[in-house]
Amino acid sequence: MFRLSRFCIQLGFTLGLAACIAPRAHAAANSAKPNIVYILADDMGYGDVQALNPARGKIKTPHLDRLASQGITFTDAHSGSSVCTPTRYGLLTGRYAWRTRLQKSVLDGSDDPPLIADDRLTVPAFLKRHGYTTAAIGKWHLGFQSKLPPGAQPVDSKKGRTFEAGLPVGSEIIGGPTTRGFDYFWGCSNARTMSGLIENNRVIESLAPIKMLPRLGRQAVKYIADHAAAAKSGQPFFLYVPLTSPHTPILPTPDWQGKSGLGAYGDFTMQTDAVVGDVLAALDQHGLTANTLVIFTADNGCSPAADTPGLEKQGHFASAGFRGYKADIWEGGHRVPFLARWPDRIKAGAQSDQLTCLTDLLATCAELLGSPLPSTAGEDSVSILPALLGTTRVPLREAVVHHSINGIFSIRQGPWKLALSPGSGGWGKPSDAEARQSGLPELQLYNLATDPGEAKNVEAENPAIVARLNALLTRYVTDGRSTPGPKRGNDVVVSILKSGAR
Ligand SMILES: [Ca+2]
């Protein structure tokens, strides 16, 4: 639907068909701009949300369950990648991260040049153009560089810098979130190599990881309190909250330890749910709930670092029966919880099986504000607004491209999913090397409608489908975009087949 609208707009501008865009502009003008709160959990499986996995989920998530019951649940939503950095790039830019220099894995965490080019339109930059105040509170993990304060001595022998201990207080952050569309940033680089606690472009404190999650929650609540009055008098906010949990280090604070009865990961996930509850309570307290679009999702699936075999033995299946976990090309790597609530516009208790990708935020915001994107932005972004509002059940996306930690591609269209590797493409068993050793085919084709667990590879029986999906993926790569519009370049040469594949 939006592909058509977007085409319509482009056509409208080209041929002067004003009637083509009038209905959308009219619709946007009639509704107040909502605040947008986007909460991104780090390494949380589809099955970690109780409401999404009633049969095989054992972790209590009352606040996420409430969000689901008050809004819409998407059952076929995907992170752009099976790992952190590339998903975050796609979320904020509407472009698949495999079009950048990052062809696999993640950024190091500190002192990596920013992955988002300084002239690229981001979601917060777009929203700022439309009167929004913007903030990111949490884990950035999209690169920045740093300048140590005068007199500071590097202590890390590996890189000649101080990263393991955190950047010294007073260090300057260069190319960070406040240069990529955010008015305000409070948080850290990533969850593993702590950069120190950063406010805007300055390290303000060395960091004790165990305190990070509750502090992030308090900071998000404070932001809502500080901006409530302005929001009610016409200046909406966009608050992006990329949480550091339940990613490693899995460190629930003492008041949460033992709560789940499933070990540290269960406790930490419950604490994560409680932080979401605190944010929802702040919106209630300040009278902002009705006109705030809250989205909750995750940057990739549950990590094996959560001790997934141990959780499974206790009856908790973090991928809810989907195959694999974080890093893999299988569904457990990238099918994520996706809940959206906006009481003024979204029907409570709704469900949608729309195929969507986290890259879709930018185009969704564009349609929401009735303001078309330039052709140089959001090359892989499709508006899901009609699905959010329940005005269509027609598929909005032609297809979604998935990507694993090892840079393995997969493409999904309708029920069909083609993966260009013989194994997991990540950490799951069999790895691609192991799969090759045991003679498994170089390609995997699954029909997710009949085989959601990706148990039966049917590539040999369906050569026409394999060829069609391969051709579509190739076109998306070579066109530099997967949405209608002029061809664009990728930042590097993108190799569709990784080493060893045919
Ligand atoms: Ca992650």
What is the Å distance from ligand 1's center to 45 Cα?
10
The CB density around residue 253, as the number of other CB atoms within 10 Å, is 14
Determine the distance separating the centroid of ligand 1 and the alpha carbon of 190, expressed in angstroms: 9
pLDDT in tens, the chain (502 residues): 334 444 333 333 333 333 333 333 334 433 589 999 999 999 999 999 999 999 999 999 999 999 999 999 999 999 999 999 999 999 999 999 999 999 999 987 557 899 999 999 999 999 999 999 999 999 999 999 889 888 876 555 455 554 455 788 899 999 999 999 999 999 998 765 567 899 999 999 887 666 789 999 999 999 999 999 999 999 999 999 999 999 988 999 999 999 999 999 999 999 999 999 999 999 999 999 999 999 999 999 999 999 999 999 999 999 999 999 999 999 999 999 999 999 999 999 999 999 999 999 999 999 999 999 999 999 999 999 999 999 999 999 999 999 999 999 999 999 999 999 999 999 999 999 999 999 999 999 999 999 999 999 999 999 999 999 999 999 999 999 999 999 999 999 999 987 644 4
Span from the CA of 430 to the centroid of ligand 1 (angstroms): 22
Helix, strand or coil, per DSSP, at residue 187: strand
The CA 40 to ligand 1 mean position distance, Å, reads: 9
Q: What is the pLDDT of residue 66?
A: 98
pLDDT value at residue 27: 40
Take residue 21 and report the two structure tokens written for it: 């865009």
- Provide the terminal-to-terminal Cα distance of the chain, rounded to the nearest Å: 36
- Collect all residues with Cβ–Cβ distance below 8 Å to 134 and sequence separation of at least 6: 124, 127, 128, 181, 182, 183, 184, 237, 238, 239, 240
Sequence-separated (6 or more) residues with CB below 8 Å from residue 450? 415
pLDDT given for residue 8 in this prediction = 36
Please tell me the distance between residue 42's alpha carbon and the centre of ligand 1 in angstroms: 4
Distance 174 CA to ligand 1 centre (A): 23
Question: What's the 434 CA to ligand 1 centre distance in angstroms?
Answer: 25
Pairing outcome for strands 356-357 and 184-188: unpaired
Give me ligand 1 centre to Cα 83, in Å. 5
Distance 149 CA to ligand 1 centre (A): 30
pLDDT on residue 14: 34
Distance from residue 245's CA to the centre of ligand 1 (Å)? 9
Q: Are strands 133-139 and 237-242 parallel, antiparallel or unpaired?
A: parallel
Looking at residue 16, its pLDDT comes to: 33
Torsion angle defined by CA atoms of residues 199, 203, 209 and 210, in that order, rounded to the nearest 10 degrees: -60
CB 109 within 8 A of CB 190: yes
Ligand 1 centroid distance, CA of 16 (Å): 45
State how far the alpha carbon of 261 is from the alpha carbons of 7, 59, 316, in Å.
52, 9, 11
pLDDT of residue 211: 75
| Dist CA 60 CA 270 (whole Å) | 6
Distance from residue 247's CA to the centre of ligand 1 (Å): 7
- How far does residue 14's CA lie from ligand 1's centre (Å)? 42
Cα of 86 vs centre of ligand 1, distance in Å, is 10
